[in-house]
Structure 1
Amino acid sequence: MNSPSLGARKKIRLGDLLVEHGIIDDVQLRKALASQKQNGKKLGHILIENGFTSEGEILTLLSKQLGMPLIDLANYRFDQSVVKLLPETYARRYRAIALERSAKGILVGFSDPTDIFGFDQLVRLLSQPVQPAIVRESELLAAINKIYKNPASLSKTAGELGQ
């Protein structure tokens, strides 16, 4: 059984989705899109920075729309053997963390569940089906920093990311 590709899903425009669900209004969306055009940041980050919505509201909505579980990493019990299936370089680059292994494949938490390229790269790297889940970026980065805290690993990662 192949992993469901994120690309096979209907293209979701975050701004339109948030307006449709009454989380933000058209004026806030237009302001955020104008800001995005100027600075190139992701729309979700701009909406949060401007206080129009919260990371929790965005992730909860995306979880429902995409049919992916939203996982709280703050109190998650990580299985080191599963986490280490994903090298630190890839975890940082694609903002992802391997969480569980099952008959369906590997459950991977993504801070950006719409990153189709990152998803496809991890499917290739792991050579098995990837079941995507959504996680908070702040919790993901804290988990990555804690799990991959080996200094030798950090310098290797810095060098690889610089390439």
Structure 2
Amino acid sequence: MPRKRLGEILIEQKVIDEDKLNKALKYQEQNRCLIGEALIKLGYATEEQVAIALSKQLGIPYASIQNQILKPEKGQNLEKIIPEKFARDNKIIPLFVENQIIAVAMSDPTDLMLLDNIRTMTGMEVQTFISTKAQILKVIDSFYQLETSLIDQAVESKVSKSDDISDSDVLTSDGKLDLDSVIMSQSSSAQAIKLVNAILKQAIAERTSDIHLEKYDEKISLRFRIDGVLHERTSPPKELFDNLIARVKILSKLNIAERRLPQDGAFSIRYQNRTIEVRVAVCPTVFGEKLVMRLLDKGGVELNLD
């Protein structure tokens, strides 16, 4: 029996209709991408919906944080078998090893070259699971214990009445934001500074091109654009939103009192001996202001954080 096409499965699952599939096929042809990527970029399907449909099409188990399959086994030295840089670069996460077979979650289990590289690196056969890039990156963050967990730490840190912090504590002599500096204060302004720094560190580690921070009626949305696709990240506390916008405005030398007109600015980051330019755009919305930061690495396309 011939394998069903991904589009057919998504139509059966009532995720898309024939019209959307035809538009996605046209987009796929024009942009030379996978049909799943086309559907996601056009906004017709989510990453999770495409991954679940691929799981059904290929007969490969779907792994997620929610079903507790996307959870690396402890005590098997998985972080040494598949190094963090390889995992992050290829959007994979090792899950467990059994009988000289390594289980790996990946967003594209049809990538034969990547599977061969994993076999060569580990000396083992590979059992594949399918997951979304966003969930894989989130598990990579916690499993390899990178700075990227700093967003959660900054969100959870408690505000105290300790001494406030000034820009002289976090800026270099030439005015660049120093992400390597350690902020000891626990004041509310320090918490906003810590959270902005944590967001920038995580974005750099994940090779993010754009950071979107926006306020809605009931929540704050923080999203990273990675490989052209927006991914949700830990939402900052609602009460800190204005402080975060103000902090970025100050760094960008914008008018913090102006909230009715769009503003553009820029600032520079120093992080682990690299200089990264940040272009900033702030514009008013129904619920407040929307912030977009574009990261431009002056050191080259390849960001090496080792």
TM-score, with structure 2 as normaliser: 0.41
Counting matched residue pairs gives: 148
- For residues 23-68 of structure 1, what are the alpha-carbon distances to aligned partners after superposition, in whole Å with 9 as ceiling and x for unaligned? 4333222211222334444432331243322323322222223222
- In structure 2, stretches of 5+ residues that fail to align are 149-204, 206-271, 273-301
2:131 is aligned, of 132, 135, 139, to 135
- What is residue 213 of structure 2 aligned with on the other side? none
2:86 aligned with 1:90, yes or no? yes
The DSSP-based 3-state class of the residue aligned with 2:139 is: helix
Residue 133 of structure 1 aligns to which amino acid in structure 2?
F
- Identity, in percent, stands at 32
- For residues 73-118 of structure 1, what are the alpha-carbon distances to aligned partners after superposition, in whole Å with 9 as ceiling and x for unaligned? 3655432622431112321232111110112511100111222221
- For residues 7-37 of structure 1, what are the alpha-carbon distances to aligned partners after superposition, in whole Å with 9 as ceiling and x for unaligned? xxx8875335545665433322221122233
Residue 303 of structure 2 aligns to which amino acid in structure 1?
A
Deviation at 1:70, TM superposition (A): 1.1
Deviation at 1:133, TM superposition (A): 0.6
TM-score, with structure 1 as normaliser: 0.71
The DSSP-based 3-state class of the residue aligned with 1:133 is: strand
Q: Which moved more, 1:127-136 or 1:64-73?
A: 64-73
2:160 aligned with 1:15, yes or no? no
- What is residue 51 of structure 2 aligned with on the other side? 59
Deviation at 1:136, TM superposition (A): 1.9
2:17 aligned with 1:37, yes or no? no
| Contact 1:73-1:135 at 8 Å conserved across structures | no
Q: CA RMSD in A?
A: 3.1
Of the two structures, which has the highest relative contact order with CA contacts closer than 8 Å and spacing of 6 or more? 1
CA distance in 2, matches of 1:96, 1:12: 26
The DSSP-based 3-state class of the residue aligned with 1:123 is: helix
If each structure's helix is expressed as a fraction of its own residues, which one has the higher value? 1
If each structure's strand is expressed as a fraction of its own residues, which one has the higher value? 2
Larger radius of gyration: 2
Residue 49 of structure 2 aligns to which amino acid in structure 1?
E
CA distance in 1, matches of 2:44, 2:124: 39
| Contact 1:83-1:99 at 8 Å conserved across structures | no
2:38 is aligned, of 46, 49, 54, to 46
2:127 aligned with 1:114, yes or no? no
- What is residue 303 of structure 2 aligned with on the other side? 158
The DSSP-based 3-state class of the residue aligned with 2:38 is: helix
